[in-house]
Amino acid sequence: MSDISLIIRTADKARKAEISVVDTQTCGDIIQAAVDNWAMPNDTDYTVVNVSKNPPQTLNPSTTLAVAGVMTGETLEIQPVLVAGSKVQ
């Protein structure tokens, strides 16, 4: 268990914060903290993407930061999950 410093931001880049967390926290914990702290809509599903990786890597919410390979200085982006619907006729 070790502390890592990260930057988290929203997909539209309107909100951004530098945080320090333990690497045993899950990616879902990061999502929930962003939703709570930034008063993001609760009726939306979110995913977290490590945009520091090339190509960007979508992270499983139940995976710990250590297992996901997240390292100090990387940027995680909280993105809404877009759900395509069918057209009603």
**pLDDT per residue as tens digits for the range 28-64:** 999 999 999 999 998 899 999 999 999 999 999 999 9
> What's the whole-number mean pLDDT along residues 10-22?
95
Q: What architecture (CATH level 2) is domain 3-80?
A: Roll (3.10)
What is the pLDDT, as a whole number, of residue 88?
Answer: 55
What is the pLDDT, as a whole number, of residue 1?
Answer: 75
Exposed e or buried b per residue across 71-89, where buried means at least 16 C-beta atoms within 10 angstroms of its C-beta? eeebbbbbbeeeeeeeeee
> What's the whole-number mean pLDDT along residues 2-25?
95
For residue 17, which of 27, 6, 28, 25 has the smallest C-alpha distance?
6
What is the pLDDT, as a whole number, of residue 83?
Answer: 74
Reported as a pLDDT band with limits 50, 70 and 90, residue 2 is confident
Average pLDDT, the chain: 92
Angle at 41 between CA 82 and CA 83, to 5 degrees: 15
What is the pLDDT, as a whole number, of residue 89?
Answer: 54
